[in-house]
Amino acid sequence: MGPLAGVGSDSPGVHSIYRSVKLVYFPEQIYDVIRATRYFLQPEVLDKYKVDPDRVGVSGDSAGGNLAAALGQQFTYVASLKNKLKLQALIYPVLQALDFNTPSYQQNVNTPILPRHVMVKYWVDYFKGNYDFVQAMIVNNHTSLDVERAAALRARLDWTSLLPSSIKKSYKPVMQTTGDARIIQEIPQLLDAASSPLIADQEVLQALPKTYILTCEHDVLRDDGIMYAKRLESAGVNVTLDHFEDGFHGCMIFTSWPTNFSVGIRTRKSYIKWLDENL
């Protein structure tokens, strides 16, 4: 049992712990992973843990996939990290906050475990934004045609050209003529490639290492991963897109009884197999 076992909810000890918790928001998480990576890549640290410096990769799932992708891109910017990453493996990653009406967002709008309105709220939380913006963002009012700052970036996630017909099906883009200009004014981080790696410059993508992206059919984030794979391929990166037709967001964690789902076991095995073969 932990040190707080048996402590009542009215305990001063609990309250003091709550007061000591510091909530942090973007971009602090990015800074954290960069600091940790720089520390880990020091020769003496690598030697301590018997790590081959030529076999270092980054990986993460969901929001962790976002941080892994952002960190991968930082390897192209930060001199102390350059050329030190062998691969990146992204598991149903969160990669963009500009379009919440891609085919997968429309198809899986109310699909557990991650319905669209929850994903949009997570983005607002990440930026310490205003929940009053959620409904407007759901219909893409934050990147409407009158938001000039978003114009060039929208082309980088144009799913009508980045997704295959089997994924696009009969879904139509949602592009508002006029929207809510306050959203980007108050949350400019929405248009930052450090938060939305899918909109990074082509030159950044060209410098990325071999990449594995796992996507699931029943997931609002499916198209983020597929579009990123397409953009990376176009930039000349060696990409493996591993798509599971019966997969859902978070399925890889369901590998133990009583939730030992077949798709959880298969996604985990496929991911580990790729790492074994490429790292």
Q: What is the mean pLDDT of residues 106-110?
A: 98
Q: Write the pLDDT tens digit of every residue in 116-129.
A: 999 999 999 999 99
- Give the pLDDT score at 6: 35
pLDDT band at 21 (very low <50, low <70, confident <90, very high): low
What pairing do the DSSP bridges indicate for beta strands 87-91 and 210-218? Answer: parallel
- Please report where in the chains the tokens 């990440």 appear, as a residue: 126
Q: What is the pTM of this model?
A: 0.91
Contact between 224 and 198 under an 8 Å Cβ cutoff? The reply is yes
The C-alpha angle 21, 115, 170, rounded to 5 degrees, equals 145
Q: Is 62 labeled as catalytic in the residue annotation?
A: yes
Task: Walk me through the domains of the chain, giving residue ranges and CATH numbers.
Answer: 27-277 (3.40.50.1820)
- Give the pLDDT score at 8: 39
- Give the pLDDT score at 79: 85
What pairing do the DSSP bridges indicate for beta strands 210-218 and 57-61? Answer: unpaired
Other Cβ atoms closer than 10 A to 50: 6
Contacts of 228 (CB under 8 A, 6+ apart): 69, 90, 93, 95, 197, 198, 213
Contact between 27 and 33 under an 8 Å Cβ cutoff? The reply is no
Q: Write the pLDDT tens digit of every residue in 174-229.
A: 999 999 999 999 999 999 999 999 999 999 999 999 999 999 999 999 999 999 99
* pLDDT(130) > 50: yes
Nearest to 275 by CA among 91, 39, 35: 91
Given 62, 144, 195, 196, the catalytic residue: 62
